[in-house]
Structure 1
């Protein structure tokens, strides 16, 4: 029960306090890829802790600690006579774990199915109204509004409007399309889908709502950084200003948007990257967030196993 209490306490503290901790300072803008990993790891650790806390309440540690064969035998016995699941607390804990798992699975599947359907429809529209430009390596859409975005998926493609081509120089067009291709290569739509899944499955919880906002911002910063490896930052910054009012479809990733002006400042005045020690600390935090809940949940079972093993040795 101690492990269950620790995991449950961690869920409450992490949901309420981790958004404040993760948004302190400017470290995320200096390492957007690492920041995305930290946010997703924090969300996953909270969900895993909630499920493992419920399982720790329902399943005695001694059942797991006495070995795999004994575990299966105990499971069979519990199913036959209901010895360990007769208590209301155990049944409620198992129901809670099942509901959490079903909820997040359902939300994730619904988001993926909807996004695929909308992207397929938009791709059909692009096939009718757009034209592929081999020199640009993108689909050109005849539209007066200056916009550029990418349509993720198996046959992902970058899209730019004729309005954007008229308002941007060739160098700026190349920088913008490099930004969009960075989204496609990095499969950033999957990161956004994961963040949206957590947010929709557990609405009104501070961690998941803030994670969705931050990851949406960070994938744009990451794509900017990838584009800046091959194109001057001034071209990216100028293109962002001119595309700031451009609107991309909700299921696509666009170069403009509300955060464009902040990204312009970042392009023109880039911060120093994280030092090796800071990056190592971030990677350690990701590992701790992912492995910590399982380690805490396993402690009682391991202790029970060691106690059982020592008892067997003493009998010999």
Structure 2
């Protein structure tokens, strides 16, 4: 149980202190995809640590953790009293990760079913009301509107109104929406929504939906800016924001934090990053929450225990 307790402490630290640690990732000088990887990495780290904790509680002999048990047990031997109250405390600690995982599983199943129904209904309406040209479903509407749908059959939907923006801005809008599909941004947003619905008492989970939505939009803006230039994407976003139409269950260019994104685009220049460099940066930021949580747990352990 001692090893499971350490894992739970790491998960709790990520869930509580995660937003404060990740706040510096939202800056114009940082790759948005790396910041997105950091937030998703924090959510994944919490889930993995909780799952490992539950696994060790259910199957205590699955790993040889005798050395760690001795080390931690010697430190915590006097923390929980050997009494009926202490037994209840240990039982509560044992049930906590199992309860969390059960809650996450229930909310995940419910959310996936709801998202699938909404997506199926939307695709059915697209087939009846749009004309497909290449990878884009076109709607006869003079307003400039564009959005993307996730799923195995991801699709970009746009009105003829975006063609009035000009060829370059129109292409930038389409590239922005295609970036959502290529980056599986709809999955990232759904994961953040599930986390918030399942564990709203944790600051990381409460903040995740808004921050992940902002990060996926910045990442899509960045992808479009690398192809068409920041100024073109800036002009397209400004024009699209004038006729924003809310479409539930989708990602559309003018939906999230337009003012912040316009500031970010104005601050952009040529980054010069290669694809390999971008991948390494994203991997590093994805591992950042786990590394910080592990370091903090070790530091607290060393400060609390005397040998």
Pair in the same fold by TM > 0.5: yes
Matched, 1:189 2:182: no
Q: 1:103 and 1:265, CA in 2 relative to 1: closer, same or farther beyond 3 A? A: same
Q: Is the 8 A contact 1:146 1:161 kept in 2?
A: yes
What's 1:178 paired with?
175
Relative to structure 1, is the Cα distance of residues 271 and 235 closer, same or farther in structure 2, using a 3 angstrom cutoff?
Answer: closer
Is contact 1:55-1:97 (8 Å) kept? no
Residue 265 in 1 paired to residue 253 in 2? Answer: no
Helix, strand or coil at the partner of 1:155: coil
For residue 180 of structure 1, report the CA deviation from its aligned partner.
0.7
The 1-side partners of 2:65 and 2:25 are apart by 47
* 2:72 match: none
Write the deviation string for residues 171-192 of structure 1: whole angstroms up to 9, x where unpaired.
2111100111111112111111
Between 1:45-54 and 1:282-291, the stretch displaced more is: 282-291
> What is the CA-CA distance between 1:52 and the residue it aligns to?
3.9
Correspondence for 1:208: 205
Residue 216 of structure 2 corresponds to 219
Provide the rounded CA distance (Å) in 1 between the counterparts of 2:272 and 2:16.
27
Q: Count matched residues.
A: 274
Decide whether aligned partners of structure 1 residues 291 and 55 sit closer, same or farther in structure 2, where only a CA change above 3 A counts.
farther
Which residues in structure 2 correspond to 1:84-99 (within 5 Å)?
91-99=91-99
Structure-2 residue corresponding to 1:78: none
* Post-superposition CA distance 1:234-276 (Å, at most 9, x none): 2211110111141242211101124223222222321675999
Structure 2 match to 1:65: 64
**Cα distance in 2, alignment partners of residues 211 and 272 from structure 1:** 29
Query: Which stretch has the larger CA shift, 279-288 or 188-197?
Result: 279-288
RMSD: 3.6
Distance 2:65 2:217 in 1: 50
Alpha-carbon spacing, 1:57–1:272, altered in 2? closer, same or farther (3 Å)? farther
Unpaired runs of 5+ residues, structure 2, are: 67-86, 298-307
Following TM superposition, by how much is the alpha carbon of 1:96 offset from its aligned partner in structure 2, in angstroms?
2.9
How far apart are residue 94 of structure 1 and its match? 4.5
- Per the alignment, residue 246 of structure 1 pairs with 244
Q: Distance in 2 between matches of 1:147 and 1:293?
A: 42
Where in structure 2 are the equivalents of 1:19-34 lying within 5 Å?
19-24=19-24, 26-27=26-27, 30-34=30-34
Corresponding residue for residue 48 of structure 2: 48
**2:230 touches 2:268 (CA, 8 Å); kept in 1?**
no
Q: Is the 8 A contact 1:27 1:274 kept in 2?
A: no
* 8 Å Cα contact 1:149/1:159 also seen in 2: yes
- Cα distance in structure 2, aligned partners of 1:121 and 1:54: 38
What residue number does 1:145 align with?
Answer: 143
Change (3 A) 1:88 1:60: farther
Larger Rg: 1
TM-score scaled by length of structure 2:
0.75
Moved more, 170-179 or 9-18: 9-18
Distance in 2 (alpha carbons) for counterparts of 1:266 and 1:236: 11
TM-score (norm 1): 0.73
Which whole-Å CA distance do the structure 2 matches of 1:45 and 1:142 have between them? 45
Shift of 1:291: 8.0
Q: Is the 8 A contact 2:217 2:256 kept in 1?
A: no
For residue 229 of structure 2, the aligned residue among 232, 249, 268 is 232
The equivalent residue for 2:300 is: none
